[in-house]
Amino acid sequence: MADELVVYTTQGPAAIIRLNNPTKRNPMSKDLLDQLSAAVTRATDDPAVRALIITGTGPAFCAGMDLSEARDALARLSGSDVGMAWAEAQHGEQLLDQIYNCAKPTIAALNGVAAGNGAGLASVCDIAIMSSEARIGYPEMRSGIQAAMVVLHLMRLVGERVARYLILTGELQDAQTALSMGLVNQVVEPDKLMDAALVCAGKIALNAPLAEAKSKVMLRRFSGQAMGLQMTDYTAVPHLEGEARIGLEAFF
């Protein structure tokens, strides 16, 4: 289907959730967020699924925000429709929060570039496996958009010093650098990516489900970061006004 922005399949104990808008590099549009959220719920509710693998179709994992929707949002703000901008920013953060709090283990299989919120999507998964040809980074500020909820997850993974470097330089990191920083757990050749993710899912399937679920609760509770949707206070309108408006208009 042309409007099937997220493709859901199962293989063994894993649900494979594939972002499927390759011509736009799988951006986080409203419709993709809705479909991804539904796919995560579907996998969580299926007792046969023991792990979720999130990956992308085509050359990118996820390029971050949908720029065509950002253009429309700029036009709406010209008409002072600020409320919708707030709602859309919260929508994306709710999705990241849903995946971070998923009761079942999640595996990001980074087949290509993960930028901005795409990198954030990888960061909220329990495990990240990266193609040797993929890159990851946080270049939002080059378009006048500050990082938001992704900062908390980034600092949780790599610490403040590395997080500051990644956010402030905006550079995309190659796979081996991402591995050395702690952004990902494993780097494999592109044709081995899904095999590696499925092997990881198979190992997870050996766990006792109740013990696993309780362990995930403990990991979240003592992760060192207070996660919550209050980060939306820093994201919505500032994303689309002032520097962000200038930066996005220049990009377009």
Catalytic residues: 140
Best CA proximity match to 145, nearest among 231, 65, 88: 65
Best CA proximity match to 124, nearest among 99, 89, 159: 99
Asked if residue 84 lies in contact with residue 105, where contact means CB atoms within 8 angstroms, the answer is no
